[in-house]
Amino acid sequence: MTTTAPARSQPKATLRLGDRVFSRTAVAAGLMILVTLAAVAIFLILRSIPAFGATSEDASILPAGENFWGYVWPLVFGTVWAAALALVIATPLSIGIALFISHYAPRRLASTLGYIVDLLAAVPSVVFGLWGILVLAPAVQPIYSWLVENAGWFPLFAGPVSATGRTILTAAIVLAVMILPIMTAICREVFLQTPVLHEEAALALGATRWEMIRTAVLPFGRSGIISAGVLGLGRALGETMAVAMVLSATPGLVSFALLQSANPQTIAANIALSFPEAYGVNINVLIATGLILFVVTFAVNAFARWIVSRRREFSGAN
């Protein structure tokens, strides 16, 4: 190193070809995501435009005398109603399971138990559908009969009871089982992040374990619980096959009754059931309902992300 450095005051960074190619590829891949999402929206919109003005003369799938909106409204209702029921079942359960894993179970077992709950996420939805229809529905039907007989005065449990058990409540139970793992995982993560000092302070003041959880863990994890619920809602809204198989639906019905044989249909299940045989404008109508589902879940997920983004560490993808 005897030669002196050239007297350039500002060494110019040479951009190598490899660098340029690589960074361009990376940017292109990132842009692909933008393009894909835009393409999803654009293709869905393009293909659903003919549906919005359709009448029952154009599309045989629309009930007589109804336009598109009359067709889609009961489906939206069914989708939201089934997802809300699933959420009502899954939220307390997932908080309980998360607390059990994070604060009640022995420390050494915690990760194993978490893994066991995650196993539920490994079961494909079509298998849950098969299970729901062949195992769960026959198993809960006697309970439904009993409920209708003894609590039929309560509007939700009004009779006559479904003989097969394939009601919207059964579908909601299956949905709840399917969204349990993601909700539990998020709740568990936040509960584990509770500052140990808060917990110990509560215990040192003489709090029992439950009082410690109520005063330290739950307030700390509130936003996590909310985002878990909203993410679970997003999953439940879009879940298709399990509902399509389990639910015995009556198209066009809007009803809150949980145990009857006539149930409202959901958007996703309706698409799955009607799409293979659809033709002509019917396809556009179904794609338009898919667009509405996309918008609804987009809004729900964006809301969840907004809550999560205030705590960056966890998201639904991992």
Partner 1 sequence: MTTQIAPQVSRPTSVPLTAGHLPKGAPWIVLGGSLVVSAALFGILALASGGFDWGGWLVVGALLSVFAIWLLSRIVEGARRATDRLVTALVTGAFVIAMIPLISVGVTVVVGGLARLDVQFFTESMRNVTGEGGGALHAIVGTLLITLAAAVISIPIGLMTAIYLVEYGRGALARGITFLVDVMTGIPSIVAGLFAYALFAIFWGAGTRTGIAGAVALSVLMIPVVVRSSEEMLRLVPNELREASYALGVPKWLTIVKVVLPTSIAGIMTGVTLAIARVIGETAPLLVAAGFTASMNYNLFEGPMNSLPLFVYTQYTQQGIPQHAYLDRAWTAALVLILVVMLLNLLARAIGRRLAPKSGR
Our finding on whether 96 is near partner 1 (CB under 8 A) is yes
CB 246 within 8 A of CB 265: no
Q: Enumerate residues 194-213 that contact partner 1 by CB under 8 A.
A: 208-211, 213
CB 148 within 8 A of CB 140: no
Our finding on whether 290 is near partner 1 (CB under 8 A) is yes
φ, ψ (nearest 5 deg) of residue 249: -105, 155
Could you tell me how far CA 219 lies from the centroid of its own chain?
24
Helical spans, DSSP H, in 100-167: 107-122, 125-131, 137-151
Tokens (6 digits) for 286: 């179904």
The residue (of 158 and 241) whose beta carbon lies closer to partner 1 is 241
Binding part of the chain for partner 1, among 62-70, 153-161, 192-200, 281-289 by CB under 8 A, reads 281-289
Tokens (6 digits) for 42: 């654009």
Binding part of the chain for partner 1, among 17-25, 66-74, 192-200, 253-261 by CB under 8 A, reads 17-25
- Report the C-alpha gap between 276 and 74 in whole angstroms: 21
- Report the C-alpha gap between 169 and 61 in whole angstroms: 26
Q: Enumerate residues 221-260 that contact partner 1 by CB under 8 A.
A: 231, 234-235, 237-241, 244-245
Q: Judged by CB under 8 A, which of 11, 92, 106, 155 binds partner 1?
A: 92
Our finding on whether 149 is near partner 1 (CB under 8 A) is no
The residue (of 52 and 158) whose beta carbon lies closer to partner 1 is 52
Q: Judged by CB under 8 A, which of 36, 111, 112, 150 binds partner 1?
A: 36
Our finding on whether 88 is near partner 1 (CB under 8 A) is no
Binding part of the chain for partner 1, among 29-37, 63-71, 161-169, 256-264 by CB under 8 A, reads 29-37
Q: Judged by CB under 8 A, which of 73, 154, 256, 275 binds partner 1?
A: 275
| Helix, strand or coil, per DSSP, at residue 164 | coil
CB 62 within 8 A of CB 68: yes
Helix 218-238 to helix 68-99 angle (10° resolution) is 140
- Report the C-alpha gap between 178 and 274 in whole angstroms: 23
Our finding on whether 179 is near partner 1 (CB under 8 A) is no
- Report the C-alpha gap between 284 and 44 in whole angstroms: 9
Q: Judged by CB under 8 A, which of 72, 75, 186, 283 binds partner 1?
A: 283
Our finding on whether 302 is near partner 1 (CB under 8 A) is yes
Q: How many CA atoms lie within 13 A of 13 on its CB side?
A: 4
Q: Judged by CB under 8 A, which of 51, 59, 99, 161 binds partner 1?
A: 99
Our finding on whether 43 is near partner 1 (CB under 8 A) is yes
Our finding on whether 109 is near partner 1 (CB under 8 A) is no
Our finding on whether 133 is near partner 1 (CB under 8 A) is yes
